[in-house]
């Protein structure tokens, strides 16, 4: 299946084309689900976040809130990221013993059981980061966005993204060293 011009698809959605919105979802859901799952630390929570985000996207496109000045991919990342961050902030306390799973990064990056244990441990560490640091780390280090792209997604300056990354990495280094 070939990738459609998402900007064209967005314009079609703005004109009320339901099939175009289905196409937009079909071509972005895998990538956006992965982002939501990594931010939330749970595939179940990611499902909820992604559904809420797509409702917001549909409404925003229908209302003409997306004007095409930003890259559509970056804008979609921003909607999903903001929806996930809002959900993380609302989450008061996660029940003890919650069995969460971090989605696999793909066969090429997972080396079996040892890699799965490492991913699970990373998910626990990410849970301990402030949501802003977690978002910056996931967007840049896991999703591969540049600091400038992450800044656009998060609505902050590239310098603020760099500062969040430095703090997040320092916290993770401390954890890895066993210094709590």
Reported as a single tens digit per residue, the pLDDT across 77-100 is 999 999 999 998 887 445 444 444
Maximum distance among all Cα pairs of the chain, rounded to whole angstroms = 55
Give yes or no for a contact between 116 and 108, defined as CB atoms under 8 angstroms apart. no
DSSP state of 143: S
Answer yes or no: is pLDDT of 4 > 50. yes
Answer whether 50's CB lies under 8 Å from 80's CB: yes
Domains and CATH numbers, the chain: 1-92 (1.10.1740.10), 106-180 (1.10.10.10)
For range 32-46, the mean pLDDT = 90
Phi-psi map region of 42: left, alpha, beta (phi>0 left; psi -120 to 50 alpha): beta
| pLDDT tens readout for residues 94-118 | 544 444 444 444 433 334 566 556 5
pLDDT tens for 129-173 read 888 999 999 999 888 999 999 999 999 999 999 999 999 999 888
């Amino acid at each position: 299946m070939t990738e459609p011009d998402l900007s064209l698809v967005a314009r079609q959605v703005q004109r009320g084309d339901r099939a175009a919105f289905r196409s937009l979802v079909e071509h972005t859901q895998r990538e956006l689900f992965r982002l939501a799952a990594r931010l939330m630390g749970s595939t179940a929570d990611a499902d909820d976040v992604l559904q809420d985000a797509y409702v917001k996207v549909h409404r925003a496109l229908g209302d003409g809130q997306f004007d095409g000045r930003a890259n559509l991919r970056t804008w979609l990342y921003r909607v999903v990221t903001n929806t996930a961050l809002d959900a993380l902030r609302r989450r008061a306390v996660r029940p003890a013993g919650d069995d969460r799973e971090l989605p696999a990064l793909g066969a090429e990056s997972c080396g079996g059981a040892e890699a799965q244990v490492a991913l699970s441990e990373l998910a626990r560490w990410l849970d301990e980061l402030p949501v802003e640091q977690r978002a910056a780390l996931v967007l840049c280090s896991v999703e591969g966005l540049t600091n400038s792209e992450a800044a656009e997604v998060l609505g902050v300056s590239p310098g603020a993204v760099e500062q969040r990354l430095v703090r997040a990495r320092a916290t993770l280094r401390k954890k890895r060293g066993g210094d709590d």
